Structure 1
């Protein structure tokens, strides 16, 4: 990358330069005397030379106060040079010891060991262990850990680490100690400890071979009742992994800890998962249905990492999608298994299109396995995770359920206890099934979202489909080769509305594929990429009437939803009458064959961001104007239908208002979509219904839906209700950080011209804490996702974001770097906005003392 030549801080790490570690550490012993202001870490590394060479031991460290360095029991003359410690070693084995001091209370980066709400917590992925002690901090050095923790018992009565607990005892001076032993070799990024005043919800799981595993979810005592859903999800995940993948848990206990200050959603540390509290704590009063689903999905994700990430881990960070894409696919399978598979698939695709498709078409585009990086934290991206999951899903489709299981069984058996590559994964799939995936490997090497254009010609009872695939150029990859993908399709009769013949899974390999269908009883419409079988953009010149027909008749739930989305894009791309959308929604609401959950998804218009992604240049004002006009037409043209749906689903919920069954969640979803449209229509009756629902709600789902409906209303008659519910919500949930985050986000995402002024006021609110990643995302991150008002023509939204980014970078570079992403899309906007966004990126780059996390993101966006 060009920046590395002018700025040494941006020197790239390259996949092509990978070399195996010179030294391995089969065993490590840690002795940690915990204290918030001054923690002492003693490390004893048992070293083994890796191969025949005479190279020294090179260790990583960051911010360590080094007090003792010893090799084979003797002091060393070699001391650190910055973040590197180099030690010549005679012989092929040695014992290396260090003692360092670290300061958790000063650690605002939330990497390594840090203080949070009176507790001590670790986060070591990707390179946090080097902030705890000197170590070859790379994922291909796997060690067995034995850890002794010591602390003041009054301050830190609970001491947790990886593996199974050993001896514990009290010590003089009010202190105590405990040992933890993890028998399974793991990389340093999976090390974890938590110390503090914690209480636990406990349970037990009996594995398929009869082993009893003790389960515990640790949090503040007052929050223990809110852990029940997460515990149920954990046990369901363990059962699912045994049933679907044959994977049994391998320790005597499994611990989860929920913390408020956490950069990510959660972390899969072996035997001790550490979670952002928003993905553990849930009850009907404080969590929405989406929150409950997210808790279950994230708990499953981190548990599934026990095999896809822990027992079999990554050789290097370029292989990140090997564990993350694979595990996202597995958690998506789990969520589909636990609820509505159709709605889950739509949710997954909506998320992919909202974040990953724009990433794939901009300056930050990269393959699911990148070939270089400056700061690895910047590559925990939607491409690595979500597109990576889609690539795994395509393998599942190509191999079938049984073939995929044969492949995973061989993968686990062959590589248990190893650090491996994407090639190792694909080779296991090939060997288990006798197939050649050479062309499929291009998904790992090429960036960009493939496009599949479809042409249909018909004559008599014969039809021909021509499918042409292309992959657009991306930075550093101007020319692309065709990829291998499964493309599910079927034919729908134009007259009958029924499927004609069987669904097919066509394996697209060539740039052009011809398909011929004969003896058709009636003219047909193609149902394309059913189930979103491949992560591509389908380009088909389908008439609006035909899209409306498919939206009413396609027998594949995803394809039916997609037909309405494409119909909406067609209508909203111009100032045409939105009547076709009104009629399509009318038909969906009236269809007795559709359940409430699907209807609640199928009647939603595409977001303004998605509409913009489909355009060459994003016309912010026009997109907003057209979409609002369509929403108003749907709201007013179907007002009686919305009232009927609202009252019907509310009646269906009587007596089961807090139930979490798919049926109850579907009823809440459709009722709340109906309420949103009714408030948009603007009647006093609708405002009253929203206020009544807000105050009477027994679930956060219903309360928050009513609040959002009122907050988004621009009607002057709703102003009093809007202010009243916002004030009540804050007072009602004061002190509950996860819920107050929702209060901030509802205002930052509001569809109101005064939202920027409101965000500026909220930045000064006593509850706004930029050092907390959740709070930062809930306000600043949410505002940046508000396309109409973040992209105000005067650039005020861009200035606000850049100001916050520069300030936060001093505290937490990872959080700051993520704020740069919206500015990186400047090329997609008109010349005035593009210049304003680019100017803010240049200001960020020029600001003194910026981290390499932010500099990489901003510099790549400007390149």
Structure 2
């Protein structure tokens, strides 16, 4: 079915290609505005294919310079060509044949940053998902795999570094002023994993010895002068390689592994085989310019892209509907890596915070889609938190259901059976079903049904029969295109906590399957009876967030406080504190809306302050506990008719209550959690800084708050403490001279560091209140704002739209109108960036009527534009459809 913006692609329409690609030879002669590419492709017709079927190759804004078949120029009558397609007819029915395609492309003019582009003097490629077709005509789909030989010819003075996938074959002088390099990747790969980088770059080198004793050369390329800032990335890479050997038995397979950091990049990073290309914000770090979160992000993303070598590269996805097969699985792997490197409990809390703030709203809005969708219009729009984060949670549930050993066996079988394949979700699940003997058909609904399940729980203790009865009901809400849902297989980790804090052990459990302290909820209604319980226990349910659900379990504040004090699962303790906080925050939002006095439950205050001051708990956990549910969390829990100003005012009032009640605790934490000596990014030191900065935030609500924050800014000896102090000043005291002075000092000190300047822009973009829109507009006129750099646009415009509920959701609608005009300005040069920022309006229907109507009008303004990319058209139409 054709549309005005692109073709709707259906999973049900998948069929293999008529031709098998045997080999790819590419020769690039690089030029800023006229790069010449000769692509020699060897095909043979697939057995059983139509002997008369033509060869159809994809293109995108291409100009064909020359076309040959077996080195003979092809007559015009034998092919049809447009900028987006090349169709060749009358091809051999049996014998292999060679097609030579020559294209001329302009990397300098490629503002989309897809395909081959040139930025800051460096040639770079980004081919996922469909960027390779912007380089040459090609069967650009993930199930077409072939080995690649690549020769790069370029000016030697301006491009001393010439890189591509695989192992280096050799190079040397080519002709006057030019040189060449040749690369060979022996592992068949799809075109989306092709990479080329050329330019004048610095290098950081190391080696890694694999578990079989092979030595692998490791190289990270950065802009000259930034080499010292790549040291942590190199360390993270080596730890990732060793961890993947020890945890999953996966050894690296080429002679060299390379990373290149570039400043203009649409994504976080890209896992091209043997040559990862990174947004430089996820490579460069030192104590003066990077926060603890930056270090954690670098560690996680370096690991993620490296882990793709097996889950994404050696085994790729058959079609783009299977995207979760590589992304969700690899997110699970990088989460496990970070948990082993840092605090597992704190890492899990951070994962769930992100899931609830980003993926749950996606699942509840007009952009909801299954983890494995069945249709798409623009594949770039399905690089979503549902595919990545919920996809990871689905993998985690498989591990929970099967147990660690069986899960490892299933992964081993998957690697053994599908190495070199373009696989499907069904292939993946079948491996776990085979090793466990389980029927995972019902569980697979997690891949096919969109929406976040709601599980309602009620419990009752019968002293006479010494039994505890738990009744569960599950419901998956309707989502676009899926009005009726079937029951899911939901694994719920649990514990029965007795009065003394110990875990109760029932003599028997009936009502359904229970394995390793996990209840398997498989019916719409299910009742579990725990027998042999001598006293009423407190039930801790969905411990560790074993299933990505909304849980409606009306527990008393006393029971929640009991869990918060005694549960051995730190995630469950954090969740109990959150569940204690939410009723206070929800009521505060309602009271602020209605002009009533805002109060706070003393039991909640006492429980939270008890955890904050508990020296037996790691500081990072206590910092997470003190970070109350966000304004977005509150809006999600309220469900609809939301007033962002009231939510903000109510939350601020609760924070002020906590600050006053816990003043002595926060004073003590601020003094005692100072880290001494040289900065180190280890998890323990980062946790101490996090807790100290949480205390600073609370102390800002007390007398002298502005002076304390200004002193903290002036005395900070690392970027974590400096940006936190600057955030407190800007967000709590935006009109104070101390804030203006600090912002000015920060800019003066770091005006030559783009990544640090992004923090300066983001801090100001998130200042609460209606006045921030004027500030954002003024910052767009600042000479440091670069409209063509995706990082800078995300830092200012994206952060304002995604992370400033009161500033963006102004009641007069100016925030929405501003965003609409920015989307229309960004779209012509970078559709991918425009579409992703536009998703900030995904929850517009949950706003109160005045704001919702303004949002609808702004979306209508975008939709009515005469010319829109497929990316933006797809998003806006899904958001406004009834």
TM-score range relative to shorter protein: over 0.9
> Does the alignment pair 1:108 with 2:111?
yes
> Does the alignment pair 1:249 with 2:252?
yes
Q: CA deviation at 1:347?
A: 0.4
2:713 alignment partner in structure 1: 694
> Does the alignment pair 1:745 with 2:762?
yes
Deviations 1:234-254 (A, max 9, x none): 000000110011010000000
In 2, are the aligned partners of 1:826 and 1:837 still within 8 Å (CA)? yes
Matched residue SS, 1:837: helix
1:589 alignment partner in structure 2: 612
1-structure distance, mates of 2:734, 2:547? 43
In 1, are the aligned partners of 2:63 and 2:83 still within 8 Å (CA)? no
Q: CA deviation at 1:194?
A: 0.3
1:614 alignment partner in structure 2: 637
Deviations 1:96-155 (A, max 9, x none): 001110000000000000011110000000000001111100000001000000000111
2-structure distance, mates of 1:609, 1:345? 19
Matched residue SS, 1:728: helix
Work out which of the residue numbers 796, 809, 821 in structure 1 matches 2:827: 809
In 2, are the aligned partners of 1:10 and 1:856 still within 8 Å (CA)? no
1:315 alignment partner in structure 2: 318
Q: CA deviation at 1:157?
A: 0.6
**Greater shift after overlay, 469-478 or 659-668?**
659-668
Work out which of the residue numbers 76, 91, 94 in structure 1 matches 2:93: 91
Q: CA deviation at 1:563?
A: 1.0
Deviations 1:70-91 (A, max 9, x none): 1112112224134111001123
Matched residue SS, 1:378: helix
Matched residue SS, 1:440: coil
After TM superposition, list the pairs within 5 Å mapping 1:49-448 onto structure 2: 49-52=45-48, 53-54=50-51, 55-76=53-74, 77=76, 78-88=79-89, 89-92=91-94, 93-448=96-451
1-structure distance, mates of 2:66, 2:42? 17
Q: CA deviation at 1:715?
A: 7.4
Work out which of the residue numbers 36, 43, 52 in structure 2 matches 1:40: 36
1-structure distance, mates of 2:433, 2:489? 14
In 1, are the aligned partners of 2:494 and 2:540 still within 8 Å (CA)? yes
Q: CA deviation at 1:752?
A: 4.1
2-structure distance, mates of 1:721, 1:36? 47
Q: CA deviation at 1:637?
A: 1.9
> Does the alignment pair 1:488 with 2:493?
yes
2-structure distance, mates of 1:204, 1:619? 55
Q: CA deviation at 1:764?
A: 1.3
> Does the alignment pair 1:779 with 2:796?
yes
Matched residue SS, 1:435: coil
Q: CA deviation at 1:62?
A: 1.4
Work out which of the residue numbers 514, 521, 525 in structure 2 matches 1:508: 521
> Does the alignment pair 1:569 with 2:582?
yes
| Number of corresponding residues | 851
1-structure distance, mates of 2:847, 2:787? 29
Deviations 1:544-597 (A, max 9, x none): 333233223322111111111111111111135214332222111232321111
1:598 alignment partner in structure 2: 621
2-structure distance, mates of 1:759, 1:736? 20
Matched residue SS, 1:680: coil
Matched residue SS, 2:701: helix
2-structure distance, mates of 1:215, 1:480? 49
Q: CA deviation at 1:833?
A: 1.1
Deviations 1:34-74 (A, max 9, x none): 11111000000011112222211000111222111011121
* Runs of 4+ more than 4 Å apart: none
2:512 alignment partner in structure 1: none
2-structure distance, mates of 1:325, 1:530? 21
After TM superposition, list the pairs within 5 Å mapping 1:451-530 onto structure 2: 451-460=454-463, 461-493=466-498, 495-501=499-505, 504-530=517-543
Deviations 1:632-663 (A, max 9, x none): 1111221121110110111xx222x5122222
In 2, are the aligned partners of 1:61 and 1:134 still within 8 Å (CA)? yes
In 2, are the aligned partners of 1:824 and 1:862 still within 8 Å (CA)? no
Q: CA deviation at 1:830?
A: 1.2
1:730 alignment partner in structure 2: 747
1-structure distance, mates of 2:80, 2:460? 74
Q: CA deviation at 1:770?
A: 2.2
2-structure distance, mates of 1:333, 1:746? 30
2-structure distance, mates of 1:492, 1:570? 23
Matched residue SS, 1:633: helix
Q: CA deviation at 1:221?
A: 1.8
1:714 alignment partner in structure 2: 733
Work out which of the residue numbers 5, 13, 19 in structure 1 matches 2:9: 13
In 2, are the aligned partners of 1:64 and 1:131 still within 8 Å (CA)? yes
Matched residue SS, 1:138: coil
Matched residue SS, 2:843: helix
Structure 2: tracts of 5 or more residues without a match = 507-515, 592-597
2:594 alignment partner in structure 1: none
Work out which of the residue numbers 554, 564, 579 in structure 2 matches 1:541: 554
Matched residue SS, 1:96: strand
In 2, are the aligned partners of 1:112 and 1:123 still within 8 Å (CA)? yes
2-structure distance, mates of 1:22, 1:206? 42
2-structure distance, mates of 1:679, 1:163? 54
After TM superposition, list the pairs within 5 Å mapping 1:624-773 onto structure 2: 624-650=648-674, 653-655=675-677, 657-681=678-702, 683-684=703-704, 686-714=705-733, 719-773=736-790
Deviations 1:778-826 (A, max 9, x none): 1111111211221110001111111111100011000000122122322
C-alpha RMSD of the superposition:
1.3
2-structure distance, mates of 1:11, 1:145? 30
How high is the TM-score relative to the length of structure 2?
A: 0.95
**Greater shift after overlay, 189-198 or 497-506?**
497-506
**Greater shift after overlay, 616-625 or 209-218?**
616-625
2:856 alignment partner in structure 1: 838
2-structure distance, mates of 1:851, 1:712? 36
Deviations 1:17-43 (A, max 9, x none): 111111121200000001111100000
2-structure distance, mates of 1:358, 1:298? 24
Q: CA deviation at 1:536?
A: 0.5
How high is the TM-score relative to the length of structure 1?
A: 0.97
2-structure distance, mates of 1:553, 1:577? 27
In 1, are the aligned partners of 2:612 and 2:625 still within 8 Å (CA)? no
**Greater shift after overlay, 580-589 or 738-747?**
580-589
1-structure distance, mates of 2:686, 2:658? 23
Q: CA deviation at 1:8?
A: 2.7
Deviations 1:279-325 (A, max 9, x none): 00011111111110000000000000000000000000000000000
In 2, are the aligned partners of 1:100 and 1:133 still within 8 Å (CA)? yes
Q: CA deviation at 1:477?
A: 0.5
1-structure distance, mates of 2:808, 2:14? 42
